[in-house]
Amino acid sequence: GASHCALACHPSMPLLASAAPDLTLRLWDVQQRQMEAMRMLPTSAWDLAFAPTTDTLVVALGASGLLMLDGANLHDLLTLPLGVGSGGACSLAFAPDGAILAVGTDQGSIELRAAGGLWEVLGACGSHAGHSRSRPPTHPRRSRSLGALRGARCRGHRRPCQMGTPRGHDWCHRR
């Protein structure tokens, strides 16, 4: 059988989303143990994340950017490119309150977006020191929590976080 390259559990419903190398995205009812919906993706999914406060499912599509879907039926809501020069989307994590989506890129940067609406870019953290473009990112699993970001305070980045204000990145550091 095909392996899964990305998995995400819905935060409040018994649903699981899975993406496989054959470009299928499936929505599973965990209680009934049956597939509820399936669709084809335009390219391989690197990561999946359900928004904690809505039914939006976000798919990281590498160089193709982000795909926002209705998490109940997998219908398209929005497709977004990443910022110029930020690389391809390879990992996703929502802030616990669902207000911000952090997108890890294959260039080692972290793009921060307002969750919902137009999903505008709020800022970005610079590249991780020592990141090599020739080395693929650690994949497939990364923590769904922002705990690593909270403690990081952007240490190890070549550039400081660029959120527009000196305290704009404080949401990462709350304990």
CA distance 148 to 3: 27
Residues 6+ apart with CB under 8 A from 141: none
Give the Å distances, CA to CA, from 31 to 27, 73, 150.
12, 17, 33
Q: Is 68:79 a contact under the CB 8 Å cutoff?
A: yes
- CA 90 from chain centre, in angstroms, equals 7
Residue 142 has what pLDDT? 36
CB half-sphere exposure, 85, CA atoms < 13 A:
4
Q: Is the pLDDT of residue 11 over 50?
A: yes
Q: 126-167 pLDDT, tens per residue?
A: 776 554 443 344 433 333 333 333 333 333 333 333 333 333
**The tokens of 5 are what?**
């390259």
Q: 107-125 pLDDT, tens per residue?
A: 888 999 999 888 999 988 8
Q: 59-91 pLDDT, tens per residue?
A: 999 999 999 999 999 999 999 988 766 678 999
Phi, psi angle pair for 38, to nearest 5°: -150, 150
Residue 80 has what pLDDT? 92
Q: Does the global pTM surpass 0.85?
A: no
Residue 5 has what pLDDT? 84
Phi, psi angle pair for 171, to nearest 5°: -60, -30
Residue 84 has what pLDDT? 62
How many Cβ atoms are within 10 Å of 47's Cβ, its own excluded? Answer: 26
In the 8-state DSSP scheme, what is residue 127? Answer: P
